[in-house]
Amino acid sequence: MPTADVCRKHGVSSATFYKYKAKYGGLEVSDARRLRALEEENGKLEKLLAEAMLDNAILKDVAAKKW
């Protein structure tokens, strides 16, 4: 079955298909799941870091105004 037919059947563009093929083409299913879990964890950690940096900036601003 040609790539164009597969893309049409699943409602994705050929560019999207080749992008995912380049990213996940050589991975086993377990490796892809592990990569996805790591990316989710990384996103959560980045969010926590951003929140901590914002809290730190707010505290510095408040401390500077009190003096």
Q: What is the pLDDT of residue 25?
A: 86
DSSP sequence for 33-64: HHHHHHHHHHHHHHHHHHHHHHHHHHHHHHHH
Count Cα atoms within 13 angstroms, Cβ side, for 50. Answer: 6
Task: Identify the pLDDT of residue 26.
Answer: 87
Which distant-in-sequence residues (6+ apart) come within 8 Å of 17 by Cβ?
Answer: 3, 6, 7
Q: How far apart are CA 1 and CA 10, in angstroms?
A: 13
| Structure-token pair, residue 18 | 């080749």
- Residue by residue, pLDDT tens for the chain (67 residues) are 888 999 999 999 999 999 988 988 888 989 989 999 999 999 999 999 999 999 999 999 988 886 6
